[in-house]
Amino acid sequence: MSVAPSVTPTHSRDAAPAASRRRGPWLSVAGTVPFFAYTAIFLVLPTLLVVVGAFRSREGVFTLNGITQALSERTIGIFINSLVVSAVTALIGAVAGALIAYALATAPSGSLMRRTFTAFMSVVAQFGGVMLAFAFIATIGINGMVTRLMTQTVGFSLDPAMLSTLFGVGVVYIYFQIPLMVIVFLPALDGLKPQWREATANLGGTGVTYWTRVAGPILLPSFLGSYLLLFANSFSAFATAAALISQQTIIVPMEIESALRNENDLGMDAYAQALALGMIIVVALVMWGYAVLGRRASRWQA
């Protein structure tokens, strides 16, 4: 503001910003209306509809029918299926992914192998859904390549019907869980400073000491955080299972689908919303844990 007025003789430098500052806030706020209106309709409203709708009948009256239905023995069984398949595939994915990430971390960060393989992992992590199910049907399904090769060479093969069971769904999920783990866990491994290892050695510690007393505790929050991310990832997955299994519903998203697409019984809306509410609660708990662990992990990443 202290610039000589001669610099901008035609345009009054002092007046313009002051004027726009006076009416500015309201004009600027008006400029953000499209964003807030859009997200209100397509993000906030649907979320509220799920939460409120779980307690409302189609006529708009308060009811616990949806919730009661969602707490039936059968539905709880489906929730347990979802929780188990998520917990187990996240565990296997986390352990295998951490091992691969460690192998990558031992390579120099610019090396061709590391860059190529990391890029490959980010492609594979995106390769989910229907197409991944097809790939596994083509591998260990009834006409799959591995099924055929195994039958020809060793005379037996994995049971092709396995793919349409909960176990089979889990086997396929691991394929996208591992690369996700590699991607999210590699930065934590890169954050381990070689000086910490040298310091351990100088103080007389062995490799075991380093892993159990230094690197392990430092990596633990990141590892658990990544585990939760993988858990949420498979807990919300739908397409893969839908493409593998058509006859029954075994996980929560499939039960939501059958409730939502059921046109005979209009009372199913509240049930679908109650199921969705159940998923929101599980994912919210997982994300809360993730945030807490993330704060712990960031202590060592300064």
Tell whether residue 187 is a contact of other proteins (CB under 8 A): no
Q: Which of 136, 173, 210, 223 binds other proteins (CB under 8 A)?
A: 136
The C-alpha R_g of the chain, in whole angstroms, comes to 27
Which residue's CB is nearer to other proteins, number 57 or number 139? 139
Q: Which of 71, 76, 80, 127 binds other proteins (CB under 8 A)?
A: 127
Residues 205-234 that bind other proteins (CB under 8 A): 232
Size of the site for other proteins (CB under 8 A): 83
What CA–CA distance (Å, rounded) separates 257 from 253? 6
What CA–CA distance (Å, rounded) separates 143 from 140? 8
Residues 54-73 that bind other proteins (CB under 8 A): none
Residues 250-269 that bind other proteins (CB under 8 A): 252-253, 256-257, 260-261, 269
Q: How far is the CB of 218 from other proteins (least distance, A)?
A: 20
Given 3-state DSSP classes, what are the helix, strand and coil percentages for the chain, each rounded to the nearest 5?
Answer: 75, 0, 25
The pattern of x and - marking residues 143 through 182 that bind other proteins according to CB under 8 A reads xxxx----------------------------x--xx---
CB 206 within 8 A of CB 215: no
Which residue's CB is nearer to other proteins, number 183 or number 220? 183
Closest CA to 236 of 278, 273, 187, 193: 278
What CA–CA distance (Å, rounded) separates 121 from 127? 10
Which residue's CB is nearer to other proteins, number 135 or number 224? 135
Q: How many residues does the chain have?
A: 302
Measure Cα distances from 21 to 4, 26, 56, 112, 175 in Å. Answer: 21, 9, 47, 53, 55
What CA–CA distance (Å, rounded) separates 249 from 268? 15
Tell whether residue 46 is a contact of other proteins (CB under 8 A): yes
Tell whether residue 19 is a contact of other proteins (CB under 8 A): no
Q: How far is the CB of 64 from other proteins (least distance, A)?
A: 18
Tell whether residue 299 is a contact of other proteins (CB under 8 A): no
Q: How far is the CB of 110 from other proteins (least distance, A)?
A: 12
Q: How far is the CB of 220 from other proteins (least distance, A)?
A: 21
Burial of 34 (0-12, 13-18, 19+ CB in 10 A): exposed
Tell whether residue 77 is a contact of other proteins (CB under 8 A): no
Q: How far is the CB of 242 from other proteins (least distance, A)?
A: 7
